[in-house]
Structure 1
């Protein structure tokens, strides 16, 4: 008989065995949990990217001060992408004898390609979502325009040489979120109305935009083509070029989803590891018989590998199908939360599901099973395999490395996966050491104390390998569940609180030094809380360590954009409250007379700036040069005035300076802005409420997704608990037969089991809780930049809850052994 026929016959027999059913069920549920999380998070992440793209009103935007070449529109049409056009420029709205500086946006009929437009027909009316922009002859304006000119919908206004009917109040244009610097309120008109205004001429200050949206694969193809064809003066904008506040929100949302998926992988590995023990033990009998009948080691190995691969493939495919059905049902329930149907999933979760199933099964099953074909038959029958050879240890390390790669792949973030992996390895080491110490401590106690206590603790001491396996499996499962609980209870809460309800939603720039005191008085009189007034200077980076800087030196498009434009510089004696030093030190009072710079850390990483580097800026023709003293982490999503580069007062204070501030303006108080403009006509008001709304929506979507991912992981965790209990089923069955034969009653057997499993649960819960909180602290501070506050509920659930849950599970598993007569259990095998 060939090894293939033998393997198929063994596989059919294995499929009917109890230990195979448990292993298959564990593998299916583990892969289903990972796949469901993968499918769901993949679709949610695409939805969040689409949500973020609403800031651009498209997936890609080509912008220029001159008309976009027709070749770019032709290429988009060839790839069957959607296109739209916009023109933006500053102008003046005239109503009777009053004027108001505005930002005019002329849009094509299909604007926007992403996001939506919302209007109000009256100042007190509720918002309405509309699918079409203004029709020719009509104009929509923001509430600030209405307040400044005391207008109502239906009023006639002049724009250039044309008259318009102010039809609606523009309450939301999602693309406003990326237009941080606007000189006035936005007014929106139809693109067809531009010729009759007479405002767009070759000498006009106009920004042309070509908007692109469609299938992500085609968009990526277009992006690669456009990047190589961009003429001078044309800029390609996409999500990575969005404002740092939006990039941070999307990046954090993706990391939360990656962390939730990573926990699912961790639970899957622990579940399968616990479920393989019975399967491997049963294979020892088969291997012994085959060795006695003359089977070679290579034949046994081939039969075993084929069975494992076939089992892993079938279970993984079933798990992937179950995961897809689960996420499909959930995505249908949650589609309204994400503004419509979620985008289709990619093939990445399928590959991760297959990888999880095959790697966890073969990685945890093969190292102990491969030794069965390499030892004499008598030692196999005695279940005495001896010490594992060096090659087996190498295989174990290889399996661990494969699982680590799977975790890195699933997380999508090297630092995040690294901290979780370090936390996992540390937990496993502590659990194994604890198991060893527990056996050493309990061995002399087996003959002391009450009978039930001796019996319960002796069960842990008599089987040190089983104790180590169960303690490690339980600990890993508890670690994963606690990490996900920390995400839900602490990290998501910290994320959502990065933008308080009354975070600043307006910025003021171009504040003249003579207006600072008067502006502070205005804020006090109108009960407006502002974030402080800071100096701001515009300068261009020219040299790093005496080497000229130009966009051509960098491959990264963000680095090219940063070098090509001017920076906002400021000077300060104290570091801002929402900034944090990550490297170096802030200048002390005695060093404030030295020329020093503080640089935002992401900017430094992008441009390759290090502490001690000498930076030179061109400030309106005046060279400014100083050494980098420290690198700062800036919380851009706080919406406080922040700067990429801050200098010492001595370095910058003597140069001509404007000032900047931010403040919160409640809805309905737009009239205060009109009064501010009248009193301070040189000040520019910037409304950032649109981008704040976009970020809050990304937070809501990401938080909701993590909440539901928790349900999938919880199901996998429950199966992990069952697998951990079943791992010692045969051992406890034999022990129960002996104890029942010797006269131990049902109550005593259940009490002894409770003592054994509660002890395991308390130890595993204590160590897992400690490691989960330490790992959570590192993830919060090093990955997300949050302050970590330990939650008392995680301590209570992790320690007391684990002991209670594992104890109850142990009692339930022991109950059938306490009611069946010993003779029947022996007859049933």
Structure 2
């Protein structure tokens, strides 16, 4: 029986395609798969590119950092996996230039450094930057400009480091992984790794940091990290770009969430189009199935034939969708090529498999339930044209669609929080659309009995087909919701995201400011019209206790928690909370002299298991400082303002030894002030984060353009679902209009009735979609992206009135061809 079933299924599939029965369904499915694969291809490539940008923060894709020499087994394993490796060594020492000395941070690098990013140097302060193709020559040193200011030396001067004498050959303009060591207060001196033995400074007892840098394909890096993590010595840890700087991590995380949101929105709306197109296909297939039943085809054979047709059609349409998605991502990559340094990494085959799987799941969930009902068409349908298609089980169709929807969202989201909130929002929106649609149909039936003329004709059109009308209104609502979400995300959320890093964001940090220098520095900045963000105290302290328990790194399984427990924190104190901080739990302290208490950033609190009311114990300058946690804060890290993980009250930390930190924006045209600043305050360390700032700003711009492009698929899906909603009732309308024309109704009356019906449906669908678009925008902004949100009155104007006008006109014009057919032809066709 298998061969006849397959053969008949393929012949019927070919016949359906030639007759145009599958055009709408194939368009919906191709669009669904194209959106998923385009996003899959591109997000795969863009995340690799972002990882490459992030790799600049650690000069690699992954790093092993240790206070002890890293065993050769880790290098050997990396080589066996085809990864590129480099080694660095950092330690503090003192350099001498004549009678002057200065504490420095020495960094020794091998020939492969850096694996990601590029060193840039200057021959002198006034020279242009130039890339460094190789590490320093033997017994040559590259130094930060401020070291020469402090020593009163020039480029080319000799400096003594341990037992070796080096030449200060060039100035360091940019060091890729300097951002990951933000609070190093000593000037940098970079030498060759081969020259370290000549200094005599590194012995088994020396305090040094060893780092093994690794670079390679993302999958290989992930596999290596998984292999290495359980084997790391106690003094070693893994570092990746996301942990290097929270500002960078926040930008990448938001970009990824926006892209997944765009893909999921397209998927949801295209799913509605598949459901509507499937319903239309069922209506068109009933006659053919009735004939097959008359010829003796059993129910199980028809079910098998429909399943084979659906599977074959799904595979073919999914493959076409994958091709369209691949072309789409190439267009996106070409559009954004100028925003990336070098070509984007190649895409993998995985998005194709995901696209085909998504297509089949979507087709099975949205289209299979109504199509399987065709097997129940009675043979009598050949004679009794009024029997119509079989009644679809609402529970069966609903469970199939809901199951497919949940599976696709959880599969595609890449973020469980985003997935379940979006799923909950969609279920609520669909339920509201169905409920309001049913209410409208009921009210339309009441109103039709009390009105006359075209109003009665239009409103009665809704009441005559309640199930079809509710399905149509729901489809319209989902289409409009997609278009409004496009506006919300495109205009409101993306603009808010871009404003988190406005022009003029701080690009210079000053650290190691001594207490007696704060007033002078503030006056110096004010005299030159440089607006600072304030000068904040910074106190070094190590967390030693939470509540009644002592804290040790081994208490945590999470490597990041282990590193946090092992290192010193940068604490601060303040009476007022900074503007880019918000209280997530608890209350900020008030009054001029509040009781001793701590405020903790919510992310680090979650990592270390800190809750409200817990008493924290820090060791500061050899003393224990304890206080309860009274609030948890959300910190906008990508604002590039000075921020701290832990803040205390002035009465708690005000008497502790502290240095100070500030940030400010310095335009490129005023770079000449840097030497003046360093000469006026030689002990202050200036950190230039301009390059890192541009990286984060570039990620935001790239992410915005990527989301805008991906939402073009959502726009197409929204238009398609509205078209499918119009076409879903076209066959029935032909028969109705044939009867009405026979009874004396003219085309103008029928056309006005259609306008009333579709405009009413559009107004209700637009009202519901506007409500849920605003609600969804609020949830996305506040709970997923940590962005401000404001109500948009234009959304309601275009959402309600615009959808009423648009759907009224589109529905009327879309069904106009049903009016131009002679009544006899419509009656003979039976719809």
In the superposition, the TM-score normalised over structure 2's length comes to 0.90
For residues 820 and 442 of structure 1, what CA distance do their matches in structure 2 show? 27
1:586 counterpart residue number: 588
1:122-176 alpha-carbon deviations (Å, 9 max, x no partner): 7667655565555557655556567778988x75554634453645x54433322
Residue 726 of structure 1 and its aligned partner are, at CA, apart by 1.4
1:286-325, aligned counterparts within 5 Å? 286-292=288-294, 295-325=297-327
Residue 712 of structure 1 and its aligned partner are, at CA, apart by 2.7
- Aligned counterpart in structure 2 of residue 183 of structure 1, from 178, 185, 191: 185
Residue 94 of structure 1 and its aligned partner are, at CA, apart by 7.0
> Would you say the 8 A contact 2:611–2:629 is kept in 1?
yes
1:248 counterpart residue number: 250
Q: 1:826 to 1:115 in 2, by over 3 A?
A: farther
1:632 counterpart residue number: 633
- 1:765 maps to 2:763: no
> Would you say the 8 A contact 1:148–1:674 is kept in 2?
no
- 3-state SS of paired residue (2:183): coil
2:410 counterpart residue number: 408
1:698-746 alpha-carbon deviations (Å, 9 max, x no partner): 2122122112112232233332232222112212322333444456555
> Would you say the 8 A contact 2:286–2:389 is kept in 1?
no
Residue 670 of structure 1 and its aligned partner are, at CA, apart by 4.9
2:517 counterpart residue number: 515
Residue 518 of structure 1 and its aligned partner are, at CA, apart by 3.0
1:115 counterpart residue number: 117
Q: 1:137 to 1:620 in 2, by over 3 A?
A: closer
Stretch moving more, 784-793 or 139-148? 139-148
- 3-state SS of paired residue (2:21): helix
> Would you say the 8 A contact 1:494–1:786 is kept in 2?
yes
> Would you say the 8 A contact 1:355–1:406 is kept in 2?
no
For residues 193 and 314 of structure 2, what CA distance do their matches in structure 1 show? 59
1:776 counterpart residue number: 777
1:731-746, aligned counterparts within 5 Å? 731-741=732-742, 744=745, 746=747
Stretch moving more, 90-99 or 326-335? 90-99
1:602-656 alpha-carbon deviations (Å, 9 max, x no partner): 1111122222223222223322332222211111222222222223333333433
For residues 516 and 642 of structure 1, what CA distance do their matches in structure 2 show? 18
- 3-state SS of paired residue (1:589): coil
Stretch moving more, 725-734 or 754-763? 754-763
1:342-741, aligned counterparts within 5 Å? 342-373=344-375, 382-383=386-387, 393=395, 396-446=398-448, 451-589=453-591, 592-593=594-595, 595-667=596-668, 669-670=670-671, 672-741=673-742
For residues 445 and 538 of structure 2, what CA distance do their matches in structure 1 show? 72
Q: How many matched pairs?
A: 824
1:249-303 alpha-carbon deviations (Å, 9 max, x no partner): 2111111111111112112212111211111223433444455555544333333
Residue 782 of structure 1 and its aligned partner are, at CA, apart by 0.7
Q: 1:165 to 1:607 in 2, by over 3 A?
A: closer
After superposition, the CA RMSD in angstroms is 3.3
For residues 167 and 553 of structure 2, what CA distance do their matches in structure 1 show? 44
| Contiguous gaps of at least 5 residues in structure 1 | none
1:70 counterpart residue number: 72
Stretch moving more, 208-217 or 518-527? 518-527
Residue 472 of structure 1 and its aligned partner are, at CA, apart by 0.7
- 1:85 maps to 2:87: yes
1:164 counterpart residue number: 167
Stretch moving more, 408-417 or 298-307? 298-307
Q: 1:566 to 1:394 in 2, by over 3 A?
A: farther
- 3-state SS of paired residue (2:663): strand
Q: 1:279 to 1:55 in 2, by over 3 A?
A: same
- 3-state SS of paired residue (2:668): coil
> Would you say the 8 A contact 1:581–1:632 is kept in 2?
yes
1:754-811 alpha-carbon deviations (Å, 9 max, x no partner): 3332332232222112211111111100111111123344334333433343234224
Stretch moving more, 722-731 or 171-180? 171-180
In the superposition, the TM-score normalised over structure 1's length comes to 0.90
For residues 464 and 558 of structure 1, what CA distance do their matches in structure 2 show? 58
> Would you say the 8 A contact 2:48–2:218 is kept in 1?
no
> Would you say the 8 A contact 1:183–1:686 is kept in 2?
no
Q: 1:88 to 1:701 in 2, by over 3 A?
A: farther
Stretch moving more, 320-329 or 260-269? 320-329
